[in-house]
Structure 1
Amino acid sequence: MEKTPLTTLREMKLFIIVWVGQLIASIGSSISGFALNVWVYEHTGSVTQFAFVTLFNTLPLILLAPIAGLIVDRWDRRWTMILSDFFASLAMLSVGILFSLGKLEIWHIYLANIFSSVFMAFQIPAFIASITLLVPKQHLGRANGMLSLMNGIARLIAPPLGGILLGTIYLPGIIVLHLITIFLGIAILLLLRFPQATPAAAIDKSSFFQETTYGLTYLVARPGLLGVLIISASSIFLVGSVQVITTPLVLSFAPVTVLGTILSLFGVAVLLGGLLIGIWGGLQRKMNMIYACMLVTGLSLLVAGLQGSVVVFILGVFLFFLIRPIIDSSTQAIFQAKVEPSVQGRVFAMKGAIEAAGLPLGYITIGPLAEKVFEPLMAIDGLLADSIGQLIGVGAGRGMGLLLMIIGIFTILATAIAYFFHPLRFVEDELPDVINRVDIATNLTSTVPASVMPEI
């Protein structure tokens, strides 16, 4: 019998409660992150120092992934999230105190970002690994779509609201708001009880090195899952590539006011994509959807670079960001269905570290490549001006457009090649589902206090 939306809500209600708390915390964190970014740039005028903010937010997530994953698997995931949120909030509290005393320096921001990111290295895999305990298998696509929706909402709200709040309650008020949203998220987690995963895999006799690298070993032993991870990391690399090119490319044919509108539209695209996959849930065979979306990704980049036109660029990149949540949701759903809950902390932490590396890798490779190689080639007197330049135009921005087109073509070719990799294409068939999540879902009400279970 086909399930009604009401039934779906009942089966996902524990996750929805947790999601609401994390959404509130995410909005607060995004607003404070935006405010601090503005403060750093206004006080330094340096793009390099501005970039360091992002670097220090990302680096601990990559370096601590093996240890974080091990702890997530060995400890209660709900308490891991609670304590990680609490200790990460101390960094923002310290920034607020230093600002109020008039002693805030740039290096304080860097240190606070490192401190906060250390604890987020534990919080993120704990949250993701908890999803398989909170959601029946058939709703994993929706749950992961809701995660993308959460990121889209925060990305859409933070810049305009952060700008307004900076002019009204200023940085100290934003920091207070950040702390309030974090503690609201913690309060919701304190009221809930999560179903417990099966006992961790017996690797007590293994060395510390073997335990912390278990996530990577697990993936290497399963080529299909490793292939899914490579696709996911590649798609995030493409995000970094598009982000680093967007501002200079758009400014080559449009004013800065149009750039701001375009960036907001991309936030709308992520939001709509998350909403779409959150309601729809996606195809039953996730790999078919991943292949299709990667082909569309390549096509969208090809279109975006074709002309120095606002309309053409928006059409291509809006489509690119619209399908991003679908790719994220589908790859995550495969991992959640195929990785044993007892080792998901280690595997997901390693997965997150590899994926996180894709974003800065896109920045540091595509940016210089566009500026130092392709822009000179497509200048009015460049080497390609009389050949490719006759098709897509020459001058400022056309080298970056050509690079986008090449990336798009490469993405299409790589996806076609990946289709013929048997372990990847049939990963959903050859790797068994690891847990009967329907049984978990039917017993959720016994694990949640009645006072926090809404009537749906």
Structure 2
Amino acid sequence: MEQKSFTRFIIVWIGQLLSGIGSGMTAFAFGIQVYEQTNSAAGFASILLASFMPSILLGPLGGILADRFDRRVMIIIGDAGAAVSVLFLLLNCLSGRLSLWYILPGVAAGSAFSALQVPAYKASLSDLLSESEYAKAGGLVQLASSARHLLSPVAAGILLSLSGIINILLLDIASFIIAVAAVFALPGKNRRIKTGLTLHLSGALKESRLCLSENSGVKQVVYKLAAVTFFAGCIQVLITPMLLFITDTKTLGIIQSISASGMVAGSIFVSLFGLKIPPLRVLHLGLIAGGASLSLLGTSTNLFFITITFFLFYLTLPFINTSAEVWIRNRITNERQGRIWGIVSFTSQSGYLAAYVTAGFLSDKVFSPLLSENGVLSDSIGRVIGTGPGRGSAFILVLCGLGMIITSLYRSGGVEKGEKNEIKIPV
């Protein structure tokens, strides 16, 4: 029975893998488009903000719906809605409307529909898998995410140079169609008949927040994830403008793809072997290694060195994410998986929002002037990491790496106690 369930998971996973690659190609293409229009890290960040803010803000609502209704239907609605948003972008491209103000609504709409899809998809893993399979499945989920970072940039870079953005959008729509078809492998369940789940939305949100606040161990792990997403968000905002000062679009795509292969390697390792040491120890070691790699990345303009350190940073992410997810999942009862994951996603991914709002501004208006050739920091920090265009962004990455290391050093009594007790949260 477990093999049959895991086979169903693999079918759904393949669909989500393909749709993730398609979405990654679209995101890369529009990111380049907007940066070339605005020549600003803040302008580039606006696309990232539009792609994440709706899904984060609506995530708790999506989680509640995933517990109240058929999770399969929620995933289908989310994927189908995202496909319609890409179709909107395609029609704008065909009519020649490629300005930022036409791109942002389509990107934001796709993000809003993902708020239905993501909590339902994560919660459905508990429908299909046994607890012993969580780590391996988590590794495969991370592998799908890493494939987006590995394959999408280089594929989008090639297609942009050969045929433009239209074919990228067509492939993205096709990937969503495949994902919707794959979701039918999930068992259909009508969750409205379950007792105890007929709470009003506000009551369900309050219950979920109370659940996290009363469990200090889970809460502290979620806060650590929020810090990680802030640092990861900063690198998403800053790496493209930083590298485009020293290389071209094609090379940028190659560097991002090679670097993301680190995430693939880490994901494959976790999916094959699971976690051999306690999850919290994996989490803290991953934070230290990832922070060191990120700080080193910001110290150089050598493309080979940047690629290696970027690779090492990506290598740590599957261990960080999977260890935290396994630790949290083992403490949530199945009938509350959707709503709790909605709150967890909202809290942890709020770090992305903070990064998208602040990183571009800090780079353009604060650190880039400080690290210009005659800037205030040119004779101090500038002697170590260099001065001129892109070095303000690089210094922010150095600070982010140090922040990851500091995050790993904070230990909570509730977390350490939770590591020893494998009892699920009573909600």
Q: What TM-score results when the alignment is normalised by the length of structure 2?
A: 0.85
Of 236, 246, 265, the residue aligned with 1:243 is 236
Match of 2:126 in 1: 132
Q: CA deviation at 1:295?
A: 1.4
Distance 1:307 1:14, change over 3 A: same
- The alignment partner of 2:387 has SS state of coil
Match of 1:266 in 2: 259
Cα distance between partner residues in 1 of 2:18 and 2:375: 51
Distance 1:385 1:105, change over 3 A: closer
- The alignment partner of 2:276 has SS state of coil
Match of 1:427 in 2: 418
Cα distance between partner residues in 2 of 1:379 and 1:172: 38
Match of 1:347 in 2: 340
Kindly indicate whether the alpha-carbon contact (under 8 Å) linking 1:198 and 1:342 is maintained by their aligned counterparts in 2: no
Match of 1:181 in 2: 175
Letter paired with 1:430: N
Q: CA deviation at 1:251?
A: 5.8
Cα distance between partner residues in 1 of 2:27 and 2:88: 14
Of 72, 76, 85, the residue aligned with 2:70 is 76
Q: What TM-score results when the alignment is normalised by the length of structure 1?
A: 0.80
Structure 2: gaps of 5 or more residues:
none
Match of 1:151 in 2: 145
> 1:63-84 deviations in whole A, cap 9, x for unaligned?
2123222111100111111122
Distance 1:116 1:395, change over 3 A: closer
Comparing 83-92 and 376-385, the one that deviates more: 376-385
Q: CA deviation at 1:278?
A: 1.8
Residue 47 (structure 2) pairs with residue 92 (structure 1): no
Distance 1:432 1:399, change over 3 A: same
Q: CA deviation at 1:140?
A: 1.2
Of 28, 32, 44, the residue aligned with 2:22 is 28
Q: CA deviation at 1:37?
A: 4.4
Match of 2:222 in 1: 229
Distance 1:365 1:91, change over 3 A: closer
Match of 1:161 in 2: 155
Q: CA deviation at 1:39?
A: 5.2
Provide the aligned length of Structure 1 versus Structure 2: 423
Q: How does 1:203-352 map to 2 (within 5 A)?
A: 204=198, 208-250=201-243, 254-256=246-248, 259-352=252-345
Q: CA deviation at 1:239?
A: 0.9
Cα distance between partner residues in 2 of 1:395 and 1:105: 32
Match of 1:54 in 2: 48
Kindly indicate whether the alpha-carbon contact (under 8 Å) linking 1:62 and 1:356 is maintained by their aligned counterparts in 2: yes
Cα distance between partner residues in 2 of 1:405 and 1:85: 37
Please say which structure displays the higher CA radius of gyration: 1
> CA RMSD of the aligned region, Å?
3.3
Match of 1:19 in 2: 13
Kindly indicate whether the alpha-carbon contact (under 8 Å) linking 1:197 and 1:341 is maintained by their aligned counterparts in 2: no
User: Matched residues, percent identical?
Assistant: 27
Structure 1: gaps of 5 or more residues:
1-6, 436-456
Comparing 66-75 and 368-377, the one that deviates more: 368-377
Cα distance between partner residues in 2 of 1:170 and 1:306: 34
Letter paired with 1:422: G
Q: CA deviation at 1:328?
A: 1.0
Cα distance between partner residues in 2 of 1:64 and 1:358: 15
Distance 1:240 1:97, change over 3 A: closer
Kindly indicate whether the alpha-carbon contact (under 8 Å) linking 1:215 and 1:348 is maintained by their aligned counterparts in 2: no
Residue 184 (structure 2) pairs with residue 190 (structure 1): yes
Distance 1:199 1:325, change over 3 A: farther
Match of 1:445 in 2: none
Cα distance between partner residues in 1 of 2:397 and 2:161: 37
